[in-house]
């Protein structure tokens, strides 16, 4: 048996797959009635294979998740296990589970999966990144392409005499080396999304470089296809060159006009009609057929079609939302299984001599690309760790490389041994690189600093920097009302950075806009209203409040990275976050309130990693606050209350309340809770509490708007009783409380059942619950956690 015999075997396998696919004519339960064997029917085998592929791929992903492995690895391994490299070696398994008659169908489902993957990825890609690319991006992308190309050509010249006759041709070497060198945006986007690194600094850089490299890769693929047509017949080349511009023109100029028409037909704030979505998906199949019919790679058409569809809401977001789940959970496991089933490690080892030159080129391409990226990043003054991380990210291999390998097999450029080697090398690289990225790069590391950025440590009559996070129009109103009572004056000015957070929908790369430096704006249904509200608020507080406006379009689970990054770079002392439950006007029932999707996890992560103090504002009723315009004109007196249970968070809350006390319309009640004979107190914490409380009292002892009292309790239930009593005595507009750090556990003893909203702490959770009858809003404060404090906390745990 020689190397070229694999071509004959594969054609025989295809013919066998077309032989006698029986139709079921027997009655149900035929195996119990002595009828035909279900394994005699290709449809039954197909259902069995579908079940095995889906179960095995999800099981492997669960097992490999602790090793930080992406889904692509588990999918390929599932295919390898049931293919000729695994259980397929057993004749009985191959006969009854993976016969040729069902493999034909499985492979076609897998190809549809790859086509859908390219289409959805195209919808998410924003080619404007190429035209907006900074010098840094272009240098890294160029270095990652030009340097490996030159080295690979030298290597190819040296080993060309040892190459197989099919591979030694010029166009084959160019195409395969291009695929090995060019970074694929779809691949790194998919894996970085699983790693939750899309919004990280290095992740954003890798995605931008990937889009630039992909642009070069598409040009290389089109050129290769043209050369391949010439290699067969000049007539084919002429037809190809005539049809490609026509299809490209239709996709680039025709489809966007249709999409704009659909957008105009859709009322603002309403979803795209289902008929338009169905028509778009039908166009995906038509363009896939067309690209295959004219001789282009089958993934090109869907990719171009996806690029022509506007990313983001409403059209791109709806298409991605309707397609992504079934693509990732159904079609892609079959796509990976199609690749895995074709891998034959035994053939690879048997014909290793023939494929050694291809392995050499592929290995050199991967290594030289990573080294070139690292060198370019170091040249641009990136740290060694970040440079290596970027090089590893841009070395990830996946779906696009697998699809190209299938295409090369169809063109008879490579056979099964070379295919097996290239795919195995790709998954080996991704298998090794993925955990290394997680080990080397922690996007939260810069946020935990040792420099104090808190309200308590901000000098009086100095600028306090606040980051106000906005999720929707309701959060704008509540945050501005709180800022209005923070007593901004010409002597105590506020520098407010407002960050409008939008969930990333229908696009791949996250978007961050500094509206003071960029004219580019990402509009959704709320953006213009929010932007105008910020401008009006700043204008009304000229001289006292200076505002800067940012917009971040990112997944919910990485929103905290943008929040922390802005707070760190702008030396913010206090972050204000809206609670994940919206207040309902004229109702005092948070159990029926509307949730802000994904906001709870964003708030949790911000509390854990913020480089400054954080406050979460929960509003139980809009009417309690009133608008800041009405408040200013009518001089309505507001009653605030701070519940001081001790600890760093309580001290930070008292420092904020101290600023509010200077506001002419604010009256404050301070209640300090103590235990009998200071039982359970941390002596150092109590001394620091005493110092802050005494300083506050000395400053405000003659202020008639201040009421101070101390309450001694034995357990958490007495603490709640005292709070209930205070609530019945005074109509409180705003409750201020420290979150959890440094609280004497006796003060909350017996209240462990209050855990519905742990980000608010035990007391904050009680204050916003339906058991506490108040319409007052709640502000939960957490003081900055320094790096040393976090280390000590982890050690104690």
Chunked mean pLDDT (size 10), the chain, 797 residues:
47 44 48 56 74 86 88 87 82 75 76 86 76 79 85 78 61 68 82 84 85 75 64 60 66 76 75 81 82 69 80 77 82 85 84 82 87 90 89 88 81 81 89 90 79 82 84 81 75 84 78 72 64 82 82 86 89 89 56 71 88 88 49 64 89 88 84 85 86 86 85 87 83 87 85 77 84 81 75 41
- Chain center to CA of 791: 27
Residue 274 neighbours by CB under 8 Å, 6+ apart: none
Cα four-point dihedral sign 168, 171, 174, 175: negative
- Chain center to CA of 540: 37
Taking residue 141's Cβ as centre, other Cβ atoms within 10 Å add up to 26
Q: What is the DSSP letter of 184?
A: P
What spatial distance separates the first Cα and last Cα of the chain, rounded to whole Å? 63
CB 596 within 8 A of CB 578: yes
Q: Are strands 613-618 and 777-782 parallel, antiparallel or unpaired?
A: antiparallel
Task: Give the Cα-Cα-Cα angle 345, 347, 352 (nearest 5 degrees).
Answer: 95
Residue 419: name the closest of 14, 153, 84, 169 by CA.
84
Taking residue 528's Cβ as centre, other Cβ atoms within 10 Å add up to 11
Q: What is the reported pLDDT for 221?
A: 67
How many Å apart are CA 631 and CA 625, to the nearest integer? 8
Taking residue 573's Cβ as centre, other Cβ atoms within 10 Å add up to 23
- 383 SS3 class: coil
- 584 SS3 class: coil
What six digits make up the tokens of 630?
Answer: 């009405």
How many Å apart are CA 785 and CA 780, to the nearest integer? 15
CB 392 within 8 A of CB 436: yes
What six digits make up the tokens of 592?
Answer: 């029926």
Q: Are strands 777-782 and 734-738 parallel, antiparallel or unpaired?
A: parallel
CB 508 within 8 A of CB 125: yes
Question: How many residues are given for the chain?
Answer: 797
The residues that bridge with 672 in the sheet, in sequence order, are: 644, 710
Residue 628 neighbours by CB under 8 Å, 6+ apart: 480, 481, 484, 537
How many Å apart are CA 339 and CA 103, to the nearest integer? 12
DSSP codes joined into one string, 35-69: ---GGGSHHHHHHHHHHHHHHHHHHHHHHHGGGT-
Residue 285 neighbours by CB under 8 Å, 6+ apart: none
| 462: Cα within 13 Å, side-chain hemisphere | 9
Name residue, tokens 């971040």.
552
Q: What is the reported pLDDT for 30?
A: 52
How many Å apart are CA 503 and CA 198, to the nearest integer? 13
Name residue, tokens 């129009």.
473
For residue 792, the surrounding DSSP H or E stretch is: helix 787-796
CB 596 within 8 A of CB 471: yes
What six digits make up the tokens of 515?
Answer: 């509206």
Residue 785: name the closest of 793, 775, 773 by CA.
793
How many Å apart are CA 705 and CA 702, to the nearest integer? 9
Torsion-angle region of 20 (φ positive above 0: left; ψ -120 to 50: alpha; else: beta): left
How many Å apart are CA 356 and CA 155, to the nearest integer? 13
Q: What is the DSSP letter of 233?
A: -
The crossing angle, in degrees rounded to 10, of helices 71-82 and 332-342 is 50
Name residue, tokens 């946020």.
447
Q: Residue 186 class from Cβ within 10 Å (0-12 exposed, 13-18 middle, 19+ buried)?
A: buried
E-assigned strand segments in 378-471: 464-470
How many Å apart are CA 51 and CA 738, to the nearest integer? 52
What six digits make up the tokens of 483?
Answer: 């800022």
Name residue, tokens 């439950």.
581
Taking residue 132's Cβ as centre, other Cβ atoms within 10 Å add up to 12
How many Å apart are CA 115 and CA 137, to the nearest integer? 29
Q: What is the reported pLDDT for 614?
A: 92
Residue 579 neighbours by CB under 8 Å, 6+ apart: 599, 603, 616, 617, 618, 619, 757, 760, 768
How many Å apart are CA 475 and CA 582, to the nearest integer? 8
Q: What is the DSSP letter of 593?
A: S
Query: Residue 717 to residues 471, 676, 712, 762, 766: CA-CA distances in angstroms?
Result: 35, 15, 12, 12, 12
Q: Are strands 734-738 and 613-618 parallel, antiparallel or unpaired?
A: unpaired
E-assigned strand segments in 409-463: none
Peptide bond into 795 cis (omega under 30): no
How many Å apart are CA 222 and CA 245, to the nearest integer? 11
């Amino acid at each position: 048996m020689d190397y070229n015999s694999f071509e004959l075997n594969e054609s025989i396998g295809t013919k066998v797959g077309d032989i006698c696919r029986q139709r079921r004519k027997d009655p149900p339960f035929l195996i119990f009635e002595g009828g035909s064997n279900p394994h005699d029917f290709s449809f039954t085998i197909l259902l069995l294979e579908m079940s095995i592929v889906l179960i095995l791929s999800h099981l492997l992903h669960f097992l490999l998740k602790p090793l930080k492995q992406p889904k692509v690895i588990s999918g390929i391994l599932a295919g390898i296990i049931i293919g000729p490299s695994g259980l397929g070696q057993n004749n009985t398994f191959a006969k009854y589970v993976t016969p040729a008659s069902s493999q034909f169908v499985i492979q076609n489902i897998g190809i549809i999966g790859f086509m859908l993957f390219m289409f959805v990825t195209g919808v998410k890609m924003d080619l404007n990144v190429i035209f907006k690319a900074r010098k840094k991006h272009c240098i890294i992308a160029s270095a990652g392409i030009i340097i490996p190309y030159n080295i690979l050509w030298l290597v190819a010249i040296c080993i060309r005499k040892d190459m197989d006759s099919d591979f030694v041709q010029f166009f084959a070497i160019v195409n395969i080396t291009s695929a090995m060198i060019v970074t694929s945006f779809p691949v790194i986007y998919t894996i970085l999304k699983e790693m939750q690194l899309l919004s990280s600094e290095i992740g954003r850089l890798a995605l931008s470089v990937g889009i630039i490299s992909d642009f070069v890769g598409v040009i290389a693929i089109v050129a290769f296809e043209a050369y391949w047509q010439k290699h067969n017949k000049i007539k084919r080349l002429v037809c190809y060159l005539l049809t490609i511009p026509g299809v490209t023109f239709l996709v680039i100029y025709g489809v966007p006009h249709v999409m704009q028409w659909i957008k105009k037909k859709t009322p603002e704030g309403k979803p795209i009609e289902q008929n338009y979505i169905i028509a778009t998906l039908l166009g995906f199949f038509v363009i896939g057929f067309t690209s295959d019919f004219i001789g282009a790679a089958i993934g090109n058409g869907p990719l171009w079609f996806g690029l022509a569809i506007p990313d983001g809401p409403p059209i791109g977001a709806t298409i991605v939302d309707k397609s992504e789940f079934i693509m990732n959970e159904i079609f892609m496991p079959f796509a990976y299984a199609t690749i895995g089933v074709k891998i034959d490690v035994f053939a690879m080892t048997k014909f290793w001599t023939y494929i050694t030159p291809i392995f050499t080129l592929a290995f050199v391409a991967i290594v030289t690309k990573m080294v070139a990226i690292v060198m370019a990043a170091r040249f641009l003054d990136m740290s060694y760790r970040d440079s290596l991380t970027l090089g590893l990210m841009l070395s990830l291999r996946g779906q696009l490389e697998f699809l190209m390998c299938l295409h090369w097999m169809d063109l008879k450029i490579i056979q099964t041994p070379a295919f097996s080697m290239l795919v195995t090398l790709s998954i080996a690289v991704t298998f090794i690189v993925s955990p290394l990225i997680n080990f080397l790069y922690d996007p939260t590391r810069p946020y935990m600093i040792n420099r104090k950025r808190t309200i308590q440590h901000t000098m009086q009559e100095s600028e306090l920097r606040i980051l106000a996070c906005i999720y929707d129009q309701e959060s704008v109103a509540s945050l501005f009302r709180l800022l209005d009572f923070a007593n901004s004056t010409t002597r105590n000015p506020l520098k407010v950075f407002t960050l409008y957070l939008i969930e990333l929908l229908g696009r791949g790369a996250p978007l961050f806009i500094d509206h003071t430096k960029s004219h580019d704006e990402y509009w959704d249904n709320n953006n213009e209203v929010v932007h105008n509200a910020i401008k009006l608020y700043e204008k009304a507080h000229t001289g006292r409040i200076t505002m800067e406006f940012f917009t971040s379009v990112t997944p919910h689970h990485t929103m905290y990275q943008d929040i922390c990054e802005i707070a760190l770079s702008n030396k913010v002392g206090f972050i204000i976050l809206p609670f994940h439950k919206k207040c309902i006007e004229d109702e005092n029932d948070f159990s029926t309130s509307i949730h802000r999707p994904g906001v709870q996890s964003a708030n949790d992560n911000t509390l854990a990693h913020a480089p400054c103090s954080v406050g979460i504002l929960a509003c139980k009723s809009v009417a309690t606050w009133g608008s800041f315009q009405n408040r200013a004109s009518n001089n309505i007196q507001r009653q605030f209350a701070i519940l001081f249970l001790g600890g760093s968070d309580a001290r930070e809350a008292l420092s904020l309340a101290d600023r509010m006390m200077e506001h002419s319309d604010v009256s404050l009640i301070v209640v300090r809770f103590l235990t009998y004979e200071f039982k359970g107190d941390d002596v150092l914490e109590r001394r620091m509490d005493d110092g802050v409380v005494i300083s506050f009292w000395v400053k405000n002892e003659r202020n008639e708007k201040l009421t101070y009292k101390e309450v001694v309790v034995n357990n958490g239930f007495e603490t709640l009783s005292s709070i209930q009593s205070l609530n019945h005595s005074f109509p409180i507009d705003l409750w201020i409380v420290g979150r959890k750090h440094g609280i004497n556990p006796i003060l909350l003893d017996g209240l462990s059942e209050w855990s519905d909203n742990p980000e608010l702490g035990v007391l904050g959770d009680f204050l916003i619950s339906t058991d506490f009858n108040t319409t007052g809003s709640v502000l939960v404060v957490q003081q900055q956690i320094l790096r040393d404090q976090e280390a000590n906390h982890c050690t104690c745990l």
